[in-house]
Amino acid sequence: MPNPLRAKSGGRMVLTVPLIVFMDDVSGNISKQWNKHHVIYMSNAALPREMLEKEFCVRFVSSSPHATPMELMCGFKESIVAAASDGIITWDCKYNDEVMLVPYGLFDAGDNPMQAEVCSHGGLKCNYFCRTCKVGGTTVEKKSDNGYLEIFKCGELRTPEGTKMDILKQIELSKLSGGTEKVKNAVSLTGTRDAATTHIVSHLLELGKRLRKRQAGKPIMSEEDVRKQLEQEFEDMLHGSPLEDHINPLLGMPGVNIHQDTPTEILHTILLGVVKYFWGQTAWILDKGHLLDTFEARLESINKDGLNSPTLGANYICRFKGSLIGKHFKSLAQVMPYLIYDLVPRTVLNGWTVIGKLVVLLWHTAIENTELYLVRLFSLCTLLD
């Protein structure tokens, strides 16, 4: 039986186009405090890395100071699904012929808070803090010896179907008596918090409180009547559309497992996370020991030929040690062991040695042997534990 795409394309060559989707909150002004809006950009992942880095290969998709990220993503999903279903006929200059393009979402890029939102996850402050798996536990559990060790192991993987079930359960809990606490506990136990249905849950909780509130001179409304009114209000909020249309649209996007397709953003996770705070503690040790001048002199004189940064700016780094940005931490992570070998405790030096190796591995632009790479990466992460 012939492939359905042959009939759809009219005999033309069919090419798939993997898309990298990026969404974040930005500002038209210097500070995000003013004129904050959300944007979606898109790149063709089939392009060589050298081309992906160029500005003209990044396409603007949508922007709004009023629409929420999930509302923007809903429109994006509809466009991509429609384009994938119908196909896009265009001219291919390489083959000198018409071809049909079938786009699909490869992964969604963004910082940790935005990726948590597109995964309908509560973020890093949840008991179950990972948007990819269910690792975690209560504070007491994580502080125990076994609980702490379990944090560094992969838990049960999250699935779009499981997340959708958690969201539906939270909506049902919002209709019950004491719903506020029930929903809060459900979020704490699962780590699931859907930004797309937050207004529905909040409205039902507030309405339920008003209906159950005792008022002088009026009879108390029975729980059955309260439930009926809440169900009616819920139906009115859906405007006749199915509930799935009001849930995170990426949970039902064909070919996308949003929990697996949001790769870790290493700038904030590593450079502005692990490296930043380790640098803060190291700078405190140096400052307390009156060794910061020695460190600055060594940093100024170190050979920088092997770095992709023309200068480390020793005076700036030491003067504004609490206000550094990603590029500073990326360079510092590679040279710190050579600067502090006799200035800090051995444990701190070992920490910087492991961090330096980790940064080099994470910023690989090409991985030739994936299995060997993963073994080295896992061994370094184990040392960091």
Q: Compute the distance between CA of residue 18 and CA of residue 118 in angstroms, rounded to an integer.
A: 19
Tens of pLDDT along 155-195?
999 999 999 999 999 999 999 999 999 999 999 889 999 99
Tens of pLDDT along 299-332?
988 887 777 665 678 899 999 999 999 889 988 9
Q: Compute the distance between CA of residue 223 and CA of residue 205 in angstroms, rounded to an integer.
A: 14
| Three-state DSSP state, 233 | helix
Q: Compute the distance between CA of residue 98 and CA of residue 254 in angstroms, rounded to an integer.
A: 26
pLDDT of residue 126: 86
Are the C-beta atoms of 245 and 91 separated by less than 8 Å?
A: no
Q: Compute the distance between CA of residue 241 and CA of residue 369 in angstroms, rounded to an integer.
A: 49
C-alpha distances in Å from residue 157, one per residue of 63, 136, 247, 263, 385: 32, 12, 20, 14, 21
Share of the chain above pLDDT 90, in %: 58
| Three-state DSSP state, 308 | coil
Tens of pLDDT along 176-185?
999 999 999 9
Tell me how far the alpha carbon of residue 77 is from its chain's centroid.
18
Backbone angles phi, psi at 203, to 5 degrees: -65, -45
C-alpha distances in Å from residue 250, one per residue of 42, 133, 163, 268, 368: 16, 17, 11, 24, 32
pLDDT of residue 33: 58
Tens of pLDDT along 143-153?
999 988 888 88
Running DSSP on this structure, what letter comes out for residue 175?
A: T
| Three-state DSSP state, 16 | strand
The residues with which 104 forms a beta bridge, in sequence order, are 18
Q: Which two structure tokens, joined as six digits, stand for 241?
A: 């559309």
Tens of pLDDT along 94-144?
999 999 999 999 999 988 889 999 999 998 888 899 999 999 988 899 999
Q: Compute the distance between CA of residue 103 and CA of residue 18 in angstroms, rounded to an integer.
A: 6
